[in-house]
């Protein structure tokens, strides 16, 4: 009997991990003598080498599919370039190092088409990854992803005991996506916004406009998560090259964002007006990728038609709205992202932490010299600042006044995602 394969999937509860899990489920007994472990963020912080080593020590994987990353939409990538770079560098360094140290036989890491040069010829292919700088909007994330390719080749050359390779999928969508209004990628974000507009229309009995950020003109190739899950497993089983391989639909399947909006609104039967806010950034215009290498190695490869896959994706979101991965934000009339909060719980929480802060302050006072500059610097405005009173904020929220309103943040002010 052959040795059991233990396949560890980092970021295993995300969109691609769920696609892989669904494919494995469909295979049933066709994949015997395998143990699949789909890691979630609560299993350990992959930014920590100690936590990552503990995971590898616990599960002793023979194969690794490395999906975990700090990800986000266009505006998050534009604002938090440092965090996207540093967190992803740490994650990738720790995972690949542990693959080498713990005797893993093969590691397949996930890159992204955003790593390709902004100024390039099309279609892009696997030989062009390092030919120039990526688009400035997501350079923190893109450079961190590029380094996986560099590090994989270095490990293969210097050590050679684990086979490191990488894949480059195009834009992914499907069930179990991240539907955060401010931090998601384009399709899940559009699904969530359309759903909100439909709910508002239903409540008001009036048509509600659906506002799309940008012109709708940029072009993208989209791959359904379940198709991609099948391809990841194929790469693990069959692809032995060090150089990356693009996992993409055909060039002819490229569509505009406006086309995607039409598919989503038709699938969800949205009857309102679609408005394109051309004052907002479009990001990179196109990233057309060639799947020639993939099709030469995987003859007969087919993909689920996009309209059918969009219908599946939108219906999953509707059916799972209460539990789908998303924040509790919504879009205001002027295009801002607002946070729905329970103002009573917010006030209770704020005052709880305020009084706890005062108790700590009291005991620290007993053992400190109030005359010292260090003490005054540390505690001088402590009680006045805690609830934000010096900033003009109300006691229970950031909206001013009595603190009962929603916490409003502009689209460029929304925090980072938690997809590690």
Q: Which residues are catalytic?
A: 141
Distance CA 406, CA 216 (A): 30
Alpha helices in 288-370 (DSSP H): 292-297, 306-319, 343-366
Distance CA 13, CA 176 (A): 8
Closest C-alpha among 91, 94, 135, 96 to residue 115: 135
Chain Cα centroid distance, residue 315: 21
Half-sphere exposure (CA, 13 Å, Cβ side) for 244? 32
Neighbours of 278 (CB within 10 A): 12
According to DSSP, residue 238 is labeled H
* Beta bridge partner(s), residue 211: 275
Q: What is the dihedral of CA 35, 157, 83, 117, to 10 degrees?
A: -110
Which 3 state secondary structure label does DSSP give 255? strand
Which 3 state secondary structure label does DSSP give 163? strand
Cis peptide bond prior to 409, omega within 30° of 0: no
Distance CA 132, CA 128 (A): 8
Distance CA 144, CA 48 (A): 16
Pairing between strand 171-173 and 222-224?
Answer: parallel
Distance CA 168, CA 160 (A): 22
Contacts of 11 (CB under 8 A, 6+ apart): 17, 39, 66, 67, 68, 69, 419, 420
Distance CA 170, CA 276 (A): 24
Please state the φ and ψ torsions of residue 387, each to the nearest 5 degrees: -90, 10
Contacts of 157 (CB under 8 A, 6+ apart): none
Chain Cα centroid distance, residue 269: 27
User: Which residue do the tokens 């030469």 mark?
Assistant: 296
């Amino acid at each position: 009997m052959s040795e059991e394969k233990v396949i560890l999937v980092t970021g295993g509860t995300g969109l691609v991990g769920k696609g892989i899990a669904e494919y494995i489920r469909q295979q049933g007994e066709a994949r015997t003598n395998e143990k699949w472990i789909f890691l979630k963020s609560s299993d350990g912080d992959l930014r920590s080498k100690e936590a990552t080593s503990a995971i590898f020590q616990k599960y002793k994987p023979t194969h690794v599919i490395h999906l975990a990353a700090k990800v986000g939409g266009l505006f998050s990538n534009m604002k938090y370039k440092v965090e996207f770079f540093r967190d992803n560098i740490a994650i990738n360094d720790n995972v690949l190092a542990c693959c080498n140290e713990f005797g893993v036989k093969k590691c397949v890491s996930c890159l992204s088409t955003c790593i390709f040069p902004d100024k390039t010829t099309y279609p892009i292919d696997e030989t062009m990854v390092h030919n120039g700088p990526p688009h400035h909007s997501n350079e923190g994330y893109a450079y961190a992803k590029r380094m996986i390719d560099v590090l994989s080749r270095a490990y293969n050359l210097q050590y050679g005991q684990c086979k490191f390779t990488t894949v480059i999928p195009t834009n992914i969508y499907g069930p179990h996506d991240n539907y955060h209004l401010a931090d998601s990628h384009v399709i899940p974000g559009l699904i969530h916004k359309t759903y909100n507009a439909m709910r508002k229309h239903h409540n008001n009995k009036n048509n509600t406009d659906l506002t799309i950020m940008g012109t709708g003109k940029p072009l993208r190739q989209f791959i359904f998560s379940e198709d991609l899950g099948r391809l990841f497993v194929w790469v693990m089983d069959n692809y032995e090259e060090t150089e990356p391989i693009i996992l993409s639909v055909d060039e002819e399947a490229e569509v505009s964002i406006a086309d995607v909006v039409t598919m989503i609104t038709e699938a969800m039967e949205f009857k309102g007006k679609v408005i394109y806010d051309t004052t907002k950034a479009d990001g990179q215009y196109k990233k057309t990728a060639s799947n020639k290498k993939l099709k030469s190695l995987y003859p007969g490869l087919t993909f689920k038609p996009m309209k059918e896959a969009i219908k599946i994706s939108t219906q999953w979101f509707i059916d799972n709205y209460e539990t789908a991965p998303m924040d509790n934000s919504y879009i205001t009339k002027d295009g801002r992202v607002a946070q729905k909060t329970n103002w009573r719980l917010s006030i209770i929480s704020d005052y709880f932490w305020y009084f706890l802060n005062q108790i700590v302050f009291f005991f620290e006072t007993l053992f400190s010299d109030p005359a010292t500059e260090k003490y005054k610097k540390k505690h001088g405005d402590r009680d006045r600042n805690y609830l934000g009173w010096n900033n003009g904020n109300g006691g229970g929220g950031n909206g001013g006044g009595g603190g009962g309103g929603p916490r409003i943040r502009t689209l460029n002010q929304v925090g980072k995602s938690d997809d590690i």
